Amino acid sequence: MPRIAPTNWKVQMEVFQLYGCRYKRKKGSHHILTHPNAKRAVVIPEYDEIDIDIIKNNMRTVGMTQFDPLKSSQALLKNFSYKEKSGVKP
């Protein structure tokens, strides 16, 4: 089973938005996202390295399992076209 590693806030924003969260607002250095199945908002701070506890709490809030971010990142890679961006074949 893959471990959850600390990542920066931009990666967390992409993963949670791919999971179905919608950007609501920003207050200071914290981004607030909402999810239809969540009882409260997901808060992503603008840290260079977000602690694993914050990531797990946000995952628990939206009902994301540990394997869901892997599916989201694979979907992100499928949407990214190397040919269009860099002219290089994958």
What pLDDT was estimated at residue 78?
52
List all residues 6 or more positions away from 27 whose beta carbon is below 8 Å from its beta carbon.
Answer: none
**Residue ranges of the alpha helices (H) in 4-89?**
9-19, 52-62, 68-79, 82-86
pLDDT beyond 70 at 74: no
Q: What is the pLDDT of residues 6-50, one digit of tens each?
A: 889 999 999 899 889 999 999 999 999 999 989 999 999 999 999
**What's the CATH fold of domain 9-80?**
Metal Transport, Frataxin; Chain A (3.30.920)
- The alpha carbon of residue 23 and the mean position of all alpha carbons in its chain are separated, in whole angstroms, by 11
What pLDDT was estimated at residue 81?
45
**Number of Cβ within a 10 Å radius of residue 46:** 14
- The alpha carbon of residue 73 and the mean position of all alpha carbons in its chain are separated, in whole angstroms, by 9
DSSP 3-state assignment of 15?
Answer: helix
Query: Domain locations in the chain?
Result: 9-80
What pLDDT was estimated at residue 22?
95
- pTM strictly above 0.75: no
What pLDDT was estimated at residue 80?
47
